[in-house]
Structure 1
Amino acid sequence: MASISSSQSGVEDIFKDFAARRAAIIRALTDDVEEFYGQCDPEKENLCLYGHPNETWEVNLPAEEVPPELPEPALGINFARDGMSRRDWLSLVAVHSDCWLVSVAFYLGARLNRNERKRLFSMMNDAPTVFEVVTERKPVKDKPSADSGNKSRAGTKRSNDGQSKTNHKLADASYEEEDDDHSETLCGSCGGSYSGDEFWIGCDVCEKWYHGKCVKITPAKAESIKQYKCPPCSLKRGK
């Protein structure tokens, strides 16, 4: 595993490392799950699940050096394998893997400034977590309450002085089980169906939802918008 270096100090490089390790772990817990399950023998010593920058995964003993070169994954995942259902065990490994991926990314980003750390987390947060992939969860948009004119919880945040202010709605604000009943959401620009793998943004005026790419809004840009108006609403206001 690589340590901190000048070639791995930028946001893009660290995110590339994160994405590769994440892809490897997801493969271990989904496509290669039988092989992974077999390697986690409870009769063996403490084992860890590693995801490597070349998108390969490995079940192995923890690093011997103290402190380790990088933060270590959860120790002893094999001991719980036969004490719970396979689904619950895989979910547990997935949660710990998410924690490890974030810790490695921010360890590698120790020299980043505040804005760079924020951008790195935003890039990481755009992708579903390992836990969400393994448990087949998907992000859904918050729906305003029928008996209230207030914005959904996703549309409110606190300012530095503690006062609440309205903010645009983001489609990745909450998560529900895949089998929950929700009406289909279509992009107000291209008409495409909602997908949890893409960034969406909701208009604060007409409350229609759009692919971020369709209205040329990125997650980073959305953070700086106090109130979002879609192109049609912006044109109406200008008339």
Structure 2
Amino acid sequence: MDGGVRSNARSVEEVFRDFKGRRNGLIRALTSDVEEFFQRCDPEKENLCLYGFPSEQWEVNLPAEEVPPELPEPALGINFARDGMHEKDWLALVAVHSDAWLLSVVFYFGARFGFDKADRKRLFNMINEEPTIFEVVTGAAKKQLKDKSSASNNRSSNKSKPNPKTGKPSKGQAKNEDKRVDDDPDDIDDDDEDDDEHGDTLCGACGANYASDEFWICCDACERWFHGKCVKITPAKAEHIKQYKCPSCSNKRARP
């Protein structure tokens, strides 16, 4: 198993890119690939760990045999708790341990490459701008955004109605809008506020922030937004979907 230690990862930016790649892989395992992840965590097998790689891939595998290992090891034996807990609680627990592992890997690199106090602080601040895996998996990040939006804009929480000024799509519709120019200055201000709000929206698969030039779609079951590319939905396909369910919600329904 390749731990992903790279000889050129010697700057704060390089280590942060390594962190984001591993984080995206772990988020994918616990969201869009959750059915496959569930099956791989067989409680009948030995102690298993969830690894994330800089390439945004993930793997469930045995811990490294060498002592000490090349990198800090993830939580051991995540498979043993799979059938003894509610699935949501189990995934949340794995997410917490994954967050802890990511930080240990990041600061291992920081120590190995001789980061000083200023570099460590800058690296942590860059990491802290991203929601944790736990927040993405449990929907806490979205809830915080919704509460903030409700308090600041006093808008209706009913997602079934599109915004009449921006034409932004509603729940279950494709979120691929262009910013509209309006002759009314008040309308322009409202558009800016709405863009700011959507700019904090997080993809339920990769955890990245919303951008207006990307195609997004919302799950009618869990109400999380997803990049179209992350869930393999195109604008053309979205036009024919009456009620969209993300891979995670679809798999839960299909599971016996």
TM-score by length of 2: 0.58
User: Once the 2 structures are TM-superposed, how far is the Cα of residue 194 of structure 1 from its aligned partner?
Assistant: 2.7
1:126 to 126, 129, 133: 129
Partner of 2:40 in structure 1?
39
User: Once the 2 structures are TM-superposed, how far is the Cα of residue 109 of structure 1 from its aligned partner?
Assistant: 1.0
Change over 3 Å in CA distance of 1:80–1:194 after alignment to 2: same
In the alignment, the residues of structure 2 paired with residue 72 and residue 31 of structure 1 have an alpha-carbon distance, to the nearest angstrom, of 24
Partner of 1:68 in structure 2?
69
Change over 3 Å in CA distance of 1:95–1:13 after alignment to 2: same
Change over 3 Å in CA distance of 1:81–1:17 after alignment to 2: same
1:138 match: secondary structure = helix
Q: Give the alignment of 1:36-115 within 5 angstroms.
A: 36-110=37-111, 111-115=114-118
- Confirm or deny: 8 A CA contact 1:70 1:104 kept in the other structure: yes
TM-score by length of 1: 0.62
- Confirm or deny: 8 A CA contact 1:47 1:77 kept in the other structure: yes
- Confirm or deny: 8 A CA contact 1:184 1:194 kept in the other structure: no
User: Once the 2 structures are TM-superposed, how far is the Cα of residue 52 of structure 1 from its aligned partner?
Assistant: 0.6
Partner of 2:28 in structure 1?
27
- AA aligned to 2:5 is S
User: Once the 2 structures are TM-superposed, how far is the Cα of residue 2 of structure 1 from its aligned partner?
Assistant: 2.9
In the alignment, the residues of structure 2 paired with residue 181 and residue 196 of structure 1 have an alpha-carbon distance, to the nearest angstrom, of 11
User: Once the 2 structures are TM-superposed, how far is the Cα of residue 46 of structure 1 from its aligned partner?
Assistant: 0.1
User: Once the 2 structures are TM-superposed, how far is the Cα of residue 188 of structure 1 from its aligned partner?
Assistant: 9.3
- AA aligned to 1:106 is F
In the alignment, the residues of structure 2 paired with residue 105 and residue 197 of structure 1 have an alpha-carbon distance, to the nearest angstrom, of 25
Partner of 1:2 in structure 2?
4
User: Once the 2 structures are TM-superposed, how far is the Cα of residue 61 of structure 1 from its aligned partner?
Assistant: 0.1
In the alignment, the residues of structure 1 paired with residue 23 and residue 149 of structure 2 have an alpha-carbon distance, to the nearest angstrom, of 29
1:162-202 alpha-carbon deviations (Å, 9 max, x no partner): xxxxxxxxxxxxx849679942449899323435848xxxx
User: Once the 2 structures are TM-superposed, how far is the Cα of residue 86 of structure 1 from its aligned partner?
Assistant: 0.2
Between Structure 1 and Structure 2, which shows a larger proportion of helix residues?
Answer: 2
Q: Are 1:117 and 2:85 matched, yes or no? A: no
Q: Are 1:190 and 2:158 matched, yes or no? A: no
- AA aligned to 1:2 is G
1:71 match: secondary structure = coil
1:49 match: secondary structure = strand
- The gaps in structure 1 that reach 5 residues or longer are 140-174, 199-239
Between Structure 1 and Structure 2, which shows a larger proportion of strand residues?
Answer: 1
- The gaps in structure 2 that reach 5 residues or longer are 155-188, 202-256
- Confirm or deny: 8 A CA contact 2:18 2:54 kept in the other structure: yes
1:69 match: secondary structure = coil
2:60 match: secondary structure = strand
- Confirm or deny: 8 A CA contact 1:51 1:58 kept in the other structure: yes
Change over 3 Å in CA distance of 1:196–1:128 after alignment to 2: farther
Q: How many residues align?
A: 162
- AA aligned to 1:21 is R
User: Once the 2 structures are TM-superposed, how far is the Cα of residue 9 of structure 1 from its aligned partner?
Assistant: 1.5
- Confirm or deny: 8 A CA contact 1:20 1:53 kept in the other structure: yes
Change over 3 Å in CA distance of 1:72–1:133 after alignment to 2: same
